[in-house]
Amino acid sequence: MKYHNTFKYVGGAFLGVLLLSGCMDSIDTDNPAIPYPAIGGYENSDDVASANLITKLSFENNLADQKNAVSGAVGTKVAYTAGIKGMAFNGSSTESRYAVGEGSSAIMGLKSFTVAFWMKSNNSVDPNPPGIGKGAQGIFSVVRPTEFWGGLNVFIENPDSSKPDRIRLKLSVENGRTGVNWKGQGVIANLDGYKGKWVHMTFVYNAKESRCYVYQDGEPAKNLDGFAYSPAGGALSGYASWFADDPGGIDNPKSTAGYGDLEMVGTNGKLVFGSHPFETDPPLNNGSQQDWATSFAGQLDEFRLYNAALTAPDVIALYKLEKDGR
């Protein structure tokens, strides 16, 4: 019996060596592994316009900004779920979930900018009767404590009852720069067919051109409205032109000056993620909770802020690299 066990152990060890040797023969030890091909000249999403990336929140079970422009973020009932890359911020249609942090001067001093993020939403809900998860859903704002709207706001507008599957995602800004009379400007991306699906959204404001470019899944958004003289129901694609005063029409027959450099005034360094400044408890501005508005009820992932206007090739590279998990 003793000899039988010895034979069994020695034989097993010999077989293990043979198997390991066979595995090693299948591994190319002379040549390095073949890397993923570069996309737009970049190997990783963080390489895209890296010198201009000032904020990156990945929501990996925390509210940490990997670029440190947002600090001291404190969550209220914040929760997380599986995202497009790792974990994601998980909103709610039954309770208000949001976070408030401190933004650095890099955020408060934006002139041109890019906001990029992944979002999944089941759309906003008619706010009549009002309640959590009903109405315009706040996603991000730069707070102005003595004003109602923030200096920069991203939110889902109230729904269009005639198009229940359309998500109306809006970016709005407030420019306090001298010479700008039309201080509040915005654009709505009408997203059809994205209800309950992840979509990558990028808003690019180029101050030199006074244009706000909008991209969905790396491509120019095809249905924009919500800006001066935009056609009813959208139909314009690619970008919105913003003006410092009444242009008289979409082709600017009055030759009005463009919106120019953004200058957020009246900010106090506060930022809110997952809600509007007036929907927090207590409100962060001079307003109060509104029946037509609510906190974000969807999911948010890979939120990025750049202090420059990204080019179209960089936008599509960012989308593809993040979709690829890089």
Cβ atoms of 188 and 157 within 8 Å: the answer is yes
- pLDDT at position 195 over 50: yes
CA distance 196 to 298: 9
What pLDDT score does 233 carry? Answer: 62
Mean pLDDT of 227-253: 89
What pLDDT score does 19 carry? Answer: 37
Q: Classify residue 116: in a domain, yes or no.
A: yes
Q: Classify residue 171: in a domain, yes or no.
A: yes
Q: Classify residue 39: in a domain, yes or no.
A: no
Q: Classify residue 316: in a domain, yes or no.
A: yes
- pLDDT band (50, 70, 90) for residue 33: low
Which structural domain range is residue 87 located in? 45-323
What pLDDT score does 16 carry? Answer: 42
CA distance 123 to 169: 10
pLDDT in tens, 137-179: 999 999 999 999 999 999 999 999 999 899 999 999 999 999 9
Q: Which residue has the higher pLDDT, 317 or 10?
A: 317
DSSP designation for 69: S
- pLDDT band (50, 70, 90) for residue 14: very low
Average pLDDT, the chain: 90
- Residue bearing tokens 């509104």: 290
Q: Classify residue 35: in a domain, yes or no.
A: no
Tokens of residue 281, six digits: 């408890």
Residue among 255, 237, 236 at smallest CA distance from 246: 255
Mean pLDDT of 256-275: 98
- pLDDT at position 5 over 50: no
Cβ atoms of 45 and 318 within 8 Å: the answer is yes
Residues for the chain: how many in total?
326
pLDDT in tens, 81-136: 999 999 999 999 999 999 999 999 999 999 999 999 999 999 999 999 999 999 99
- pLDDT band (50, 70, 90) for residue 26: very low
Tokens of residue 44, six digits: 């990783």
Query: What total of structural domains would you count in the chain?
Result: 1
Residue 124 sits in a domain whose CATH number is 2.60.120.200
Q: Classify residue 32: in a domain, yes or no.
A: no
% of the chain at pLDDT higher than 90: 84
Q: Classify residue 37: in a domain, yes or no.
A: no
- pLDDT at position 10 over 50: no
Q: Classify residue 38: in a domain, yes or no.
A: no
- pLDDT band (50, 70, 90) for residue 210: very high
What pLDDT score does 34 carry? Answer: 58
- pLDDT band (50, 70, 90) for residue 236: confident
Mean pLDDT of 38-54: 96
